[in-house]
Amino acid sequence: MGKLAVLSLSVAALAVLIGERLITLRHVSLSYRELAQNYLPNCDHIEGIEYGAEDITILENGLAFLSTGLKYPGLPSNSDDPGKIYTLNLMDSKMKIKAMNIKGDFDKDSFNPHGISLYTDDKDGAVYLFVVNHPQGNSQVEIFQFVEDENALQYIKTIKHELLHNVNDIVAVGTESFYATNDHYFTNGILKFVEPFLSLSWCDVVYYSPQTVQVVAGGFLISNGINISPDKRHLYVSDFLKHKIVVLEIQKNTVLSHVKEVDVGSLCDNIEVDRESGDLWLGCHPNGLKCVFHDPNDPPGSEVIRIENILSEKPRVTQVYSDDGSVIIASSVATQYGGKLLIGTVYQKALICDLKL
């Protein structure tokens, strides 16, 4: 009878723990949120983008780079084709995307691009594109040089390291150096699920250069998007399941010091920074549970959030766009240029809208 009582108490305790964890997970995933539509004028789908534009970033001259065709565990994949990088000239009224040719000894058949970052070398003006790549489910960083007159990418090198084990996003700070986020601590699929289930804040930010590779910040529940301030003094990291943007100051030794956190009230993915104003533009998932189930009758919505004056005592956080999934599903990035707002998604379409600032 004593053993039965102990077993019964153990089962009851486990049931309570699982119940509490499920309630917590529903809370952090914002499963209760339902969006009211908040549209911008003159929004159109970008022709030719059917399988997502998970990340988008723009050169100073208005040339946008789009990372498309991501295949990621647990998310829908509507195409077996390799991923591609496209360009879109926002100064051209035609607004037509162009697929980039990849030159050099690079395995294009397994290309699975995720986060991207552009870096312009002050010495010679050369432009480099850094791409997070997941061939066969692995995690590595590709460095390409942009060949403008050919709309091509010249393959430079692949970077692999044990600390770069679950890279989500990247921000380049040199021709071979960058900061990157790991969105999980474990690499095993089951243990990856255990992390958010137990609220393990074990994700981190890694600094990489040919001379140094080190973890420079930690304590994230899921570290997702990352970007840098125009003056290169601060990094911004999306702590996805905590619904916060974390501000970190870059020290001389490349280690980061915590400055502040800004609540955004949504599950924000990639971060783009306006090079003139310093404003942050965030592509967000308003309801994480819908992203898990992918119900076509109740699809994940999309939300764009802007943060102004993030380093001030009272940053201004505003919702710029929202949709319940009827127009665009699972937004992951938003960026603006010349009165236009581009919104990309993890696995569906991309949108371009008129924007009045």
The catalytic residues are: 114
Rounded-to-integer distance, Cα 356 and Cα 281, Å: 14
Rounded-to-integer distance, Cα 227 and Cα 229, Å: 7
- Check the annotation: does 151 bind a ligand: no
Buried b (16+ CB within 10 A) or exposed e, 52-70: bbbbbbbbeeebbbbbbbb
Q: Which of 41, 24, 129 is nearest to 86 (CA)?
A: 129
Rounded-to-integer distance, Cα 252 and Cα 265, Å: 33
- Check the annotation: does 55 bind a ligand: yes
- Check the annotation: does 310 bind a ligand: no
Rounded-to-integer distance, Cα 335 and Cα 341, Å: 6
- Check the annotation: does 269 bind a ligand: yes
- Check the annotation: does 239 bind a ligand: no
The residues near 129 (Cβ < 8 Å, ≥ 6 apart) are 65, 85, 116, 117, 118, 143, 144, 145, 146, 153
User: How is residue 85 written in tokens?
Assistant: 């990088």
- Check the annotation: does 54 bind a ligand: yes
Give the residues across from 345 on adjacent strands. Answer: 331
- Check the annotation: does 80 bind a ligand: no
- Check the annotation: does 224 bind a ligand: yes
Rounded-to-integer distance, Cα 160 and Cα 140, Å: 5
Binding residues for Ca(2+) are: 54-55, 116, 168-169, 224, 269-270
Binding residues are: 54-55, 116, 168-169, 224, 269-270
